[in-house]
Structure 1
């Protein structure tokens, strides 16, 4: 039976670590907080009833007015590399962990983002603006709809309190949900403190990687197996990002989940016009986190994680041996995804060239990433319509001829292939202009556009009548939208 807020079973496993890992403190309450939206699907994961979402108890918790019943509210400390440079101590500068709910299918930590200053805020104000809060709320659910590992979003609270960014905006709080918010930077923080690093490693392995623990075995081998698992999960995650045209925007080590989840949605973007070196973050002036750089950056971040484990006396060559699996792990998922997206049964020698030339065609024509894959399903049967979508029609026709020949090698039934492609190539993704429309409505207190987008993004592969505009190319003005680290 689904429960009320007060009936939730709450544990606090992270809070059982020594006090040096966090600071207990309550959020800074917003003025007149109002619930703009609550996510029924995520509530079910926690065991919360839909009725509970409209209760005062629920609003009190997700606005930070009252603690989660039986929860221990805290802000965690961590460190990290930001844009490739060691930034030293960081931490939850505008987030509060409320506790860990024992849900029907697992445990979920609840965290408020935008809930006020903490000892780790540095020069920040501890707030999140409505604009970025709506974007995170929608993005995490969009990724879940695509089947990509991610944190989730439970609630969006708004206020009239001013927040100063490039302009004056209003404050909001997102309730984020994840099995854990431990990140690569959590390990980096303790790299020179072996006792605390060992406690963190043991906590993470015991709670989230128990399969890496062999009773009576060498503890160092447990850690190597743990690193191997993190390498695999991270490589798979970035391969998923690449094959849906997603750019994270700020792949700092403090934004990398140890569980291989997409977390900390800031200046992210789903590509419209494809460019292999697309930069979604206006603050990323050097293009460190461009689309084509994401795999190499993820690998670099894993080296930083492994370097922190040297503090436990592990052998450097043994750690490198686990890291060496990254490329193969990435390619396995990347190639498998592309086989499905291209309607191929399995990857064959020569497919690398076909895919590289596909990226080259999309790049040279600035073709729409999502629509190009979706339209490819019927391109062999409707070549004229496919080719008409490209300025360089001869290049498009030449590639389509090669692709059709590749399909002919498998002699696969057309209907079977089309069904497969349509099951993995989405009709709807969270384009920037769609998110912006939801933001503008939310600024007026209207959550209807959030409802519409969640409806489409939760089942992104199925065309829904009456929503053609949400699947179309973005309007011309959309290219002027910019997202930055202030998002």
Structure 2
């Protein structure tokens, strides 16, 4: 869907800045299919000029021609503080292709770059590419990554690094920050245009009858409530849940200092710049709820077109309260499935919470534990379960296993069928930080084979893949405390 809003107060036509001697670092044939981009046996575009397009060096590739690429303006709250005007500081929207937006991240300065250089580096581009595609394979709504194009052009961050451009695809990159921007300017005309665009293209169910803008808010909030529940279920930490990083379509976007949990810590912080732990793992649902409150505030003028200010506030407040209910319901359903529970019983939430607390106390590997839980038999003895050896408080976890086995025995499903279902929700493979780091270090030496291998493994995260079993293991001790910088 093309971003059809135009005007200097909405976006600026922005030409990408070329990079010298571009080369392929990574490419997703799966994402290419979405835009009907034909690839050859090598998995790369048959039309060779796509390398130059995705590097930001030209705008035409064969029959595909982009005109008037843009950067959009938005505002937002960063770490809970109003940051004022922001915008696409290093993202340039090339245009629409097969109904999807194609955007270049790292293709040079825009009018909203402020003090930045508009570039991305190889390190962060590889991480975004791998994680976007990994999240898609996990079934979690996300922008897609089409390619990473590298260059030996120097870019200064904490040290000197090399430039890269990550091309990404989404139905739309509209953010909560777009609403906040026009609300902050009291520009109700633009607010209405933005909301109407979303309704017509993505939320047609909100259009019939009364209250389209209230219904739009409810739908955006619902999608993001379900999204963050999915993050929690796979141990994904976004790292920077600023309101300008939240999609109006409920997609995971803006992969920066993200991280998947290895050993389980309820208060894990993946971003070393997050000194107060605002975006720690257990706070993600609360922060997403807070971001929906920012959206509600921004959309208030739209409701006031039909209702008084007091009525509008009451309606949005009531709708906002639904977020916690929807999130809790989704979270409980996901974790029941992770435990192999088909039915719903009153004690399930307490059982889940007891397990997570025990995992936190012993810092048990999140992914490996849930994957291994599928091997458990209903007639197992708690004192004979090997997984109990991962816990410090042995009597406590044995009591938990005893209660869990009783709960399993109340289900009619067989052990084999239960394991098959559990293996469809508990991945064996995730993008662990140490695996990404290994791929990055090799790529910095012009060896991109590890990126391709990880891309292949992570495209089938629920399969056994015996040849790659070691990629499912927890990180070595010296890599267990890796945190990631915001700089990219």
Band of TM-score, shorter chain: over 0.9
**TM-score, L = length of structure 1:** 0.94
Alignment of structure 1 residues 44-123 onto 2, 5 Å: 44-51=33-40, 53-68=45-60, 69-102=65-98, 107-123=99-115
Task: Choose 240-249 or 57-66, whichever is displaced more.
Answer: 57-66
The match for 1:376 among 361, 373, 377 is 373
Contact 2:213 2:303 in 1 (8 A): no
The match for 2:356 among 354, 359, 367 is 359
Match of 1:211 in 2: 205
- Work out the CA distance in 2 between the residues paired with 1:63 and 1:39: 15
Match of 1:9 in 2: none
Task: Choose 461-470 or 426-435, whichever is displaced more.
Answer: 461-470
Match of 2:335 in 1: 338
Contact 2:264 2:360 in 1 (8 A): yes
Task: Choose 281-290 or 457-466, whichever is displaced more.
Answer: 457-466
Q: CA deviation at 1:390?
A: 2.3
Give the RMSD, CA atoms, in angstroms: 1.4
**TM-score, L = length of structure 2:** 0.93
Task: Choose 28-37 or 423-432, whichever is displaced more.
Answer: 28-37
Contact 1:282 1:482 in 2 (8 A): yes
The match for 1:20 among 3, 6, 9 is 9
Q: CA deviation at 1:466?
A: 1.8
Alignment of structure 1 residues 240-279 onto 2, 5 Å: 240-279=230-269
Match of 2:307 in 1: none
- Work out the CA distance in 2 between the residues paired with 1:210 and 1:351: 37
The match for 1:282 among 261, 264, 272 is 272
Match of 2:187 in 1: 193
- Work out the CA distance in 2 between the residues paired with 1:20 and 1:206: 22
Match of 1:150 in 2: 142
Tell me the alpha carbon deviations over residues 199-224 of structure 1, each in whole angstroms, 9 at most, x when there is no partner: 1111111111111101xx44xx0011
Q: Structure 2: state its 5+ residue gaps.
A: 305-311
Q: Structure 1: state its 5+ residue gaps.
A: 1-11
Match of 1:438 in 2: 439
Tell me the alpha carbon deviations over residues 429-463 of structure 1, each in whole angstroms, 9 at most, x when there is no partner: 00000100111111122221111111111110111
> Are 1:140 and 2:136 matched, yes or no?
no
Contact 1:379 1:385 in 2 (8 A): no
Q: CA deviation at 1:405?
A: 0.8
Tell me the alpha carbon deviations over residues 317-375 of structure 1, each in whole angstroms, 9 at most, x when there is no partner: 11112212101211221111111110001232111110110111100000000001011
Q: CA deviation at 1:176?
A: 0.6
- Work out the CA distance in 1 between the residues paired with 2:366 and 2:67: 44
Tell me the alpha carbon deviations over residues 11-64 of structure 1, each in whole angstroms, 9 at most, x when there is no partner: x73144334210001011112111222110011111111136153321121011
> Are 1:453 and 2:454 matched, yes or no?
yes
- Work out the CA distance in 1 between the residues paired with 2:360 and 2:50: 47
- Work out the CA distance in 1 between the residues paired with 2:466 and 2:456: 13
Which 4+ residue blocks in structure 1 deviate beyond 6 angstroms?
none
Match of 1:406 in 2: 407
Contact 1:15 1:72 in 2 (8 A): no
- Work out the CA distance in 1 between the residues paired with 2:265 and 2:385: 24
Task: Choose 397-406 or 236-245, whichever is displaced more.
Answer: 397-406
- Shift of the 392–23 alpha-carbon distance from structure 1 to 2, 3 Å rule, reads same
Task: Choose 150-159 or 448-457, whichever is displaced more.
Answer: 448-457
